[in-house]
Amino acid sequence: MPPKRRRSIVSPDVSLPVQKRARGQSPPQAAPLTHNHITKLSDELLIRILHLLSLPTLLRSQLVSHRFYRLSSDSQIWKNLYYSRFVLPRALRIPGIKNAPPRDEALVFSSRRSKWLSEEVLVNRGDGKSTDWKGRYKLRHNWSRGVCEVREIRLREERSLGVLVRMAEGVVLTVDAEDGLRGWDLKGRALIARFRLGEGEVPTCLAVDEQDGKGGLGVAVGFEDGGWRIWRLDVKERRFVEGHRHPASSNGTLSAVAYAYPYLLTITEEQLLSLYSFPEREPQSPLPAHQGNQEVPPSSVQPGEPRLLASLKSHTSWPPLSLSIRTTPTTLIASIAYTLRTYTSGYTVGLQELHLSLTTGSVIFSRLTSALPQGFTSILASTSSSSSPFSTPPSPSRSPASTSEICPAGSSRSETSCPTSLSYSHPYILATHPDNTLTLYLCTSTASTLSITSGTKLWGHTSSVSSAEITPRGKAVSVSTRGNELRVWELEGGLGTSSSTSSIGFNAGLRKRGRLGVEKSVVVRPSPSKDDKANLDYEGCRRWVGFDDEVVIVLKEGGGEAGRQALMVYDFT
């Protein structure tokens, strides 16, 4: 039998209270703080604490208050972060530095003995200004991620054949037969100065000298008729100051030029290499008032007229090629990196150095090397006693041009195809190819030897690579002909060992197969600026690329005969 239900002892006339769900008691409210302990801490102590925070925590601390924002932007904090991420990994690759004691002052950013390598100019600036370390860190971080803003500088609405572009110190220089020589300001995208060329002057090569140091740039332009001219761009006065004008020559069209005052290096399409030097100009005393209108008899050698130091002729080099001028305390080194055709391996690169005395200007010696595999030679190996591809012409009247084959632009897409461009910045040579690859060569130049390592293939592009540029530190930028594909490379020290500098690690499998580069480069992913968001056009062909610490410049040409030309400016600041 089920148990009976117990009756309530309460009378049925009495109503029972409604049962309610018990609520948790609210915690007692804490008394408001009457003292802010952080305000008692000094700025020096807070900065020392912020030094110990990780980067994400440091960035979040900027949102606490205006005081924390100011303190977290302290220059020494960001200098430490910059050194730890971008300088120290490079310093640790110095032979023997890893065996140094843990507290070695050479590896401490604040020490006077700290090794800043090529970043020393940021620590000891010649202009007396202080470095914005937070801004520098942001700039390098954007480069490592490929984050930038893109804008456009329109050059012409109609295509102009033979537009040449160079950039230096925030200025872009362009030259062509129709519009002449022009200088553009990258910040304001405005025209700084313009110089009209003479009738019939068709420019074929352009070089910039950045060693002026007086708020100007040296500019050298070579022409189709074999002549060349130099200018100085005065940025403050916004004008080109005309310099020497070398007359036309029967030696042929100039194909490349290098300029580092007072030296200028040229090479013709018929492979004649010439090195000139300009005399140092002596300050002239002003003429007396009564002699101001008198005629001065012309001298045989005008002030500033160059002197030919050396002239060499080649029979075994092909374009593309690259010229370079660098100096040591006692020696001038004029170099040419050129394409060399071989029997079985298609094309490789060669390098020749011409050493001259800085005091006398006379040639000390010349030496050459190439990246040829052991046992192979060029198909045009000279049978003469001279072992150099560039030799002194036998007489003023040069022999006719050799039957050198110019590399066609539409070469076969194979590993034997001719490079599309060549960039040489000692100790690196970077060649681009139509088969979507690049090849990196490492040069070694000592007092007694000159050598080039065998080329290392770099992979990553998805279409033909039209142009690339590399710096002496191993940083490079390459651009595909089409598809708006731009890549930034960190190639310092070559690719023999993994680099701790790059934010992207090495892939061992790719290194074993010899297909390097995907993990050593980053694809640039630009976002259009507010002004150019509606008008930006990514279509067209890319022909040239150049860069500095803050921006990358790409020359873009629209499709068709009437396609407009523009400069794409990728700003990483």
DSSP string, 125-181: -TT-PPP-HHHHHHHHHHHHHTEEEEEEEEEESS--TT-EEEEETTEEEEEETTTEE
Is this structure's pTM higher than 0.75?
A: yes
Question: 46 by DSSP, 3-state: which?
Answer: helix
Task: Answer whether residue 504 is part of any domain.
Answer: no
Is 309's pLDDT higher than 80? yes
Parallel, antiparallel or unpaired: strands 307-314 and 318-327 = unpaired
Question: 192 by DSSP, 3-state: which?
Answer: strand
Q: Which one has a higher pLDDT value, 212 or 397? A: 212
Is 409's pLDDT higher than 80? no
What DSSP state is assigned to residue 572?
-
Average pLDDT over residues 401-425: 58
Residue 473 and residue 260: Cα distance in Å, rounded? 19
Q: Of the segments 238-242, 288-292, 504-508, which one has the largest average pLDDT value?
A: 238-242
Half-sphere exposure of 85 (CA within 13 A, CB side): 19
Report the length, in residues, of the chain: 573
Residue type, position 205, single letter: C
Tally of domains in the chain: 1
Token look-up 């599309």 returns 420
Q: What are phi and psi of 83, to 5 degrees?
A: -65, -45
Q: Which of 234, 229, 235 is nearest to 259 (CA)?
A: 229
Burial class (CB in 10 A: 0-12, 13-18, 19+), 433: buried
Contact 493, 500 (CB under 8 A): no
pLDDT given at position 533: 56
Edge-to-edge strands, sheet with 475-480: 465-470, 475-480, 486-490, 521-523
Task: Answer whether residue 512 is part of any domain.
Answer: no
pLDDT given at position 190: 86
- pLDDT interval class at 243 (50, 70, 90): very high
Run of H or E residues at 120 = helix 120-123
Q: Which of 458, 411, 449 is nearest to 427 (CA)?
A: 449
Contact 273, 363 (CB under 8 A): no
Residue 465 and residue 431: Cα distance in Å, rounded? 9
Q: Which one has a higher pLDDT value, 389 or 542? A: 542
pLDDT given at position 229: 95
Residue type, position 218, single letter: G
- pLDDT interval class at 495 (50, 70, 90): low
**93-121: b or e for each residue (b if 16 or more CB lie within 10 Å)?**
eeeeeeeeeeeeeebebeeeebbbeebee
Mean pLDDT of the chain: 78
Task: Answer whether residue 433 is part of any domain.
Answer: no
The tokens describing 133, both together, are: 């370390």
CB within 8 Å of 325: residues ≥ 6 apart: 258, 259, 260, 263, 265, 332, 333, 334, 335
Helix then strand count (H, E) for the chain reads: 8, 31
Q: Which one has a higher pLDDT value, 526 or 468? A: 468
Average pLDDT over residues 350-361: 90
Task: Answer whether residue 565 is part of any domain.
Answer: no
pLDDT given at position 496: 52
The tokens describing 343, both together, are: 């029997």
pLDDT given at position 438: 93
Q: Which of 351-365, 372-386, 528-542 has the lowest mean pLDDT?
A: 372-386
pLDDT given at position 250: 86
Token look-up 């004029």 returns 334
Average pLDDT over residues 321-330: 92
Average pLDDT over residues 132-150: 93
Average pLDDT over residues 17-38: 65
Q: Of the segments 167-171, 482-486, 497-501, 554-558, which one has the largest average pLDDT value?
A: 167-171
Residue 500 and residue 391: Cα distance in Å, rounded? 43
| Cβ count near 241 (within 10 Å) | 14
**Torsion angle defined by CA atoms of residues 467, 468, 469 and 472, in that order, rounded to the nearest 10 degrees:** -150
Residue 104 and residue 85: Cα distance in Å, rounded? 18
**439-475: b or e for each residue (b if 16 or more CB lie within 10 Å)?**
bbbbbebeeeeeebbebbbbbbbeebbbbbbbbebbb
Task: Answer whether residue 451 is part of any domain.
Answer: no
Contact 183, 191 (CB under 8 A): yes
Is 493's pLDDT higher than 90? no
Task: Answer whether residue 46 is part of any domain.
Answer: yes
Is 326's pLDDT higher than 70? yes
CB within 8 Å of 112: residues ≥ 6 apart: 105
pLDDT given at position 24: 62
CB within 8 Å of 229: residues ≥ 6 apart: 220, 221, 223, 242, 243, 244, 245, 246
Is 426's pLDDT higher than 80? yes
pLDDT given at position 467: 93
Q: Of the segments 9-13, 282-286, 432-436, which one has the largest average pLDDT value?
A: 432-436
Question: Where are the extended beta strands (E) located within 210-287?
Answer: 216-223, 228-234, 239-246, 254-260, 263-268, 272-277
Task: Answer whether residue 407 is part of any domain.
Answer: no
Q: Which of 89-98, 126-135, 211-220, 260-269 has the lowest mean pLDDT?
A: 89-98
Residue 450 and residue 511: Cα distance in Å, rounded? 26
Q: Which one has a higher pLDDT value, 123 or 217? A: 217
Give the domain range for residue 109.
Answer: 42-118
The tokens describing 411, both together, are: 């070469």
Average pLDDT over residues 432-442: 92
pLDDT given at position 299: 38
Task: Answer whether residue 233 is part of any domain.
Answer: no
Average pLDDT over residues 471-483: 89
The tokens describing 492, both together, are: 């310092």
**Residue 379 vs residues 276, 376, 383, 405, 491: alpha-carbon distances, Å:** 31, 9, 11, 11, 31
